[in-house]
Structure 1
Amino acid sequence: MPNTFGLNRTLGGAIGVIALVSVLSSGAILATRNHLQDTTDALARSTQVVRGLDAFRTAMLNQETGLRGYLITGRESSLEPYRAGRPALDQTIIHLSTLIGNDAERSRLFADAVTAARAWQTDIGETAIRQAADPTTRPDGVRIEAEGRGKQFFDTLRSKLVAIDNLEEQTRAAQAARVTQAERNGSLALWGAALITLLICIGIGIAINRLIVRPLGRVMTFVEHIGEGDLTGTLGEGGHNEIGRLKRTLNAMVAGLADLARTNRTATSDLNAAAAEIRASAQEQAASVEEQFAAVQETAATVDEITHSGAQITKRAGEVIATAQATAQTSRQG
């Protein structure tokens, strides 16, 4: 069976290649985008951790400030920063625990910082406030805060929070580098896909020009020559696609037209020869008719002369008869 779908398969294959490249490039860009999104989320989470650590420090400093103000002034209003700092610290601890998750090192450092903070609240803050509330034990409360144990707790939690800060800074730097690399990879994938698609389109254009446009141009020129009456040319083989079949069909058609033209020329020559013979025979018959017409005319003239002579003879015979009758009458009279 002839191949009637060559061009369809060629164009379909080209479109399929473009679609495949588009799918692959889209997949690469999507993967890069997902990687970039994950990296961005991790960077945002690290930023939230840093902010949570700052909130942790702020909550502890507010408590320390409120405690010192209360120990100095003895007024309950001075405890407002302390009382506001406790729930703020609790919320910050819950938030940071969620952000840190299952990271072992960060979890250990954060647990040590929380332990130090809770120890300060229990051993320093609550004890000092309780003792300072009673005038008799107020000096003991002031002494608890002044002994420096609170500073030890603060130094411990600060060192743990700074260690977490350093880890987060390293993480943020790494994530920033990953974001930059992901953006670079996304750009490379996008431009690479565009370049490959452009090259494929150029290749398809060249293939279409070689397989379709040029062969069709030659076919059109061939058909124009046929229209002008030139049946001597032929088209070369065009492969097994539709244009190749068209070329073979046109070659067969031109060969048939050439045979028909030769047959017509032979028939025309025979017809011309027969017409010449008929014309010569007609000329001979016309000459014979002219000769017969001339003979008829001569015969008619002879008949006329004979008729005229007969009339004269009859007239003379009549005269002779009249003379004879007169002579006879004269004789009888004589």
Structure 2
Amino acid sequence: MSLGANDWTLRRRVALLLTVVTLILIGLAGAAAAVAAQNRSQIDTVLNQTGPLRVQGQELLNALLDQETGIRGYAVSGDRKDLAPYDAGRDLERQRMASMRALVADFPAVDDELAAVQSQSTRWRETVAVPVIEATEREGPAAGQALVDDRARQEFDQVRAAADALQREILRARNDAAADVRSSSNLLAVLLIVAAAVVALAGIALVLSLERMVIRPLTALAGQVREVAEGDYQHRITGSGPPEFVHLSDDVDAMRRKIARDLAEVREARERIEWVNSQLQKQAEELTRSNRDLEQFAYVASHDLQEPLRKVASFCQLLQRRYAGQLDERADQYIAFAVDGAQRMQRLINDLLAFSRIGRLTTGFTEVDLNKVMGDVAGQTEAARQYADAELTWGELPVIRGEEPLLTNLLANLVSNSVKFRRPDVPPKVHVSARLVGDEWEISCADNGIGIEPEFADKIFVIFQRLHAKDAYPGTGIGLAIVKKIVEYHGGRVWVDTDTAEGTAIRFTLPALPADVEAAHAAGSEDGTGDIPAEDGGTGRPAEEENTAGGQESAERPDTASEGGRTGGMRETVG
């Protein structure tokens, strides 16, 4: 089935145009190559044949003249030396005749003239030169001069005439060759001009074809696409021109239809999401109110429970002091249970009250030096550390923005936990350090205690969560929950480092001051590493001597840190 003109693809049309142009250019190139070869041959003829022929023809004439001069001189003087020009002329004549014979193969007329010159020169020698030489040798110069008469001059004139005719024929052959060179050069130039004209016409035809078959259809298609892009997604896109453009238009229109369907689905989904967001917003507001009410309830409940609890605890202690030993052993045990329960309830309420106050009663963030905070923590935990013979050390700690009372409570809880959860017969060692990681300070509290199993690493931060009985390690189970809430209130996170080989390492992050981050980056650039130093203190300078706090005397645990407990290598949430 034959294709119509409109069914021809753009590739087919361009290929046809290029094929026609290529064939024409190949033909012109072949003709130009043939003409160039002919031109080179003609130039070679002018340079290597007719030119040397003219020079050698003149030298041949000079050789003939030398012979005639030698004969005249010898006839006058009778001296054999005067025949030297004659002998040299004959040698030169033979040489030039031989060399010219090799050059006249393509010039028959020149060859004929050369043969005429040779015939005339041979005749002159036979009729004039040889008789003069012989007569001079036999009879002397007078006899020789007698033979050099008008007839002798006429004979040599014929030789000269033949040499002149040879030169004219050589000149004519040279002019004909030069004319052929000019003609072939002109023809070669014409062929080049025709080739350039073909290329120019092909370029013009290609440009016009592209304008009609490519640019106009593409411009029209781009205009329709812009209409769709401006929001008219129902505008149908049609194409014109070669089949490729028609297919492209169909594909673009199919894409438009798909986009229109997707946009309709997106609108529906967005409407559903907006409705869900509005419901979530309402639920978030309800949750915020609920949390606020719960915090208020926890505060009020804790505060209101203090008075009756103190009364119960006071009277239970009075019963214990006044009637101890007056009742039976079981009664004393019951009273001890009541006193212990009241005290534990009081501690629980105090910790719950402290937990509810975090983030609600705020003094505002200020710049806090954690080195000073650790000094306060060392003082608060001194009694407990002396009782456990514990050693507390810390490296250079940073200055951060936060609430000093909360940060003190945070570190006191961690240090108290490390002192409390110690291994039997092993003096506790607690070390607090800091390093800069990115734009956060990573602060670690590491000890040599009983450690925490990895599966309980997240469980210990849950409020009221205990991993063992309260008899092993006393506590309310709120301490590490308070730690987590304080850290998150300051914009950080807290976790247990489960890769620690011995004891426990609890790590938490706090945002660093911009000046510390810039200084660390500058220090890293100066030492050529580009890394942020990770020494104690993380300030890019060598860590100062560790601050140390220790104790030997027995003492009760201070009330500033919540209590807790752990057994079997598992730590509970304590404070």
Q: TM-score range by the shorter chain?
A: 0.5 to 0.7
Residues 294-309 of structure 1: matches in 2 within 5 Å?
Answer: none
Q: 3-state DSSP class of the match of 2:248?
A: helix
Q: 3-state DSSP class of the match of 2:238?
A: coil
2:211 pairs with 1:209: yes
Inter-partner Cα distance in structure 2 for 1:117 and 1:262: 111
Residues 26-37 of structure 1: matches in 2 within 5 Å?
Answer: 26-37=29-40
Cα distance change, pair 7–240 in 1 and its aligned pair in 2 (3 A) = closer
1:154 to 153, 156, 176: 156
2:248 pairs with 1:246: yes
Inter-partner Cα distance in structure 2 for 1:154 and 1:56: 14
Q: 1:76 maps to what in 2?
A: 80
1:231 to 227, 230, 233: 233
> Unmatched 5+ residue regions in structure 1?
276-334
Asked if the contact 1:128/1:141 (under 8 Å) is kept, the reply is yes
Q: 3-state DSSP class of the match of 1:26?
A: helix
Residues 236-315 of structure 1: matches in 2 within 5 Å?
Answer: 236-255=238-257, 260=261
Asked if the contact 2:213/2:242 (under 8 Å) is kept, the reply is no
Structure with the bigger RCO (C-alpha within 8 Å, sep 6+) is 1
Q: 3-state DSSP class of the match of 1:225?
A: helix
Asked if the contact 2:135/2:144 (under 8 Å) is kept, the reply is yes
Cα distance change, pair 224–263 in 1 and its aligned pair in 2 (3 A) = closer
Shift of residue 257 of structure 1?
5.2
Q: 3-state DSSP class of the match of 1:128?
A: helix
Q: 2:95 maps to what in 1?
A: 91
Inter-partner Cα distance in structure 1 for 2:52 and 2:133: 33
Q: 2:528 maps to what in 1?
A: none
Q: 3-state DSSP class of the match of 2:236?
A: coil
1:25 to 25, 28, 31: 28
Q: 1:295 maps to what in 2?
A: none
Asked if the contact 2:109/2:169 (under 8 Å) is kept, the reply is no
Inter-partner Cα distance in structure 1 for 2:262 and 2:51: 92
The alignment-based identity, stated in percent, is 23
2:38 pairs with 1:7: no
Q: 2:59 maps to what in 1?
A: 55
Q: 1:115 maps to what in 2?
A: 119
- Count residues in correspondence: 267
Cα distance change, pair 149–102 in 1 and its aligned pair in 2 (3 A) = farther
Shift of residue 89 of structure 1?
0.2
Shift of residue 174 of structure 1?
3.1
Q: 1:182 maps to what in 2?
A: 184
> TM-score, normalised to structure 1's length?
0.67
Cα deviations by residue, 1:7-29 (Å, 9 ceiling, x for unpaired): 33333334334433432332233
Shift of residue 246 of structure 1?
0.5
The residue type equivalent to 1:201 in the other structure is G
Residues 159-178 of structure 1: matches in 2 within 5 Å?
Answer: 159-178=161-180
Inter-partner Cα distance in structure 2 for 1:237 and 1:60: 91
Cα deviations by residue, 1:43-91 (Å, 9 ceiling, x for unpaired): 3423332222211110000111122122222333322211211111001
Shift of residue 137 of structure 1?
4.6
Asked if the contact 2:239/2:245 (under 8 Å) is kept, the reply is no
The residue type equivalent to 1:220 in the other structure is A
Cα deviations by residue, 1:121-155 (Å, 9 ceiling, x for unpaired): 23322332233234x354333322x1334333322
Q: 3-state DSSP class of the match of 2:233?
A: coil
Shift of residue 102 of structure 1?
6.0
Q: 1:133 maps to what in 2?
A: 137
> TM-score, normalised to structure 2's length?
0.41
Asked if the contact 2:78/2:140 (under 8 Å) is kept, the reply is no
Asked if the contact 2:46/2:174 (under 8 Å) is kept, the reply is yes
Cα distance change, pair 64–262 in 1 and its aligned pair in 2 (3 A) = closer
Shift of residue 200 of structure 1?
0.9
Q: Which moved more, 1:87-96 or 1:103-112?
A: 103-112
Q: 3-state DSSP class of the match of 1:133?
A: helix
Inter-partner Cα distance in structure 1 for 2:58 and 2:72: 21
Inter-partner Cα distance in structure 1 for 2:187 and 2:40: 13
Structure (1/2) with the larger helix percentage: 1
2:31 pairs with 1:39: no
1:199 to 194, 198, 201: 201
Cα deviations by residue, 1:222-248 (Å, 9 ceiling, x for unpaired): 333323331333343434532221112
The residue type equivalent to 2:32 in the other structure is I
Cα distance change, pair 262–60 in 1 and its aligned pair in 2 (3 A) = closer
Inter-partner Cα distance in structure 2 for 1:205 and 1:160: 67
Cα deviations by residue, 1:98-117 (Å, 9 ceiling, x for unpaired): 22226444333322220111
Q: 3-state DSSP class of the match of 1:40?
A: helix
Asked if the contact 1:21/1:197 (under 8 Å) is kept, the reply is no
The residue type equivalent to 1:165 in the other structure is Q
Asked if the contact 1:5/1:242 (under 8 Å) is kept, the reply is no
Pairwise CA RMSD of aligned residues? Answer: 3.5
Inter-partner Cα distance in structure 2 for 1:156 and 1:169: 20
The residue type equivalent to 1:150 in the other structure is A
Cα distance change, pair 157–235 in 1 and its aligned pair in 2 (3 A) = farther
Inter-partner Cα distance in structure 2 for 1:193 and 1:106: 40
Rg larger for: 1
The residue type equivalent to 1:47 in the other structure is G
Cα deviations by residue, 1:196-227 (Å, 9 ceiling, x for unpaired): 21121121122223222332333333333323
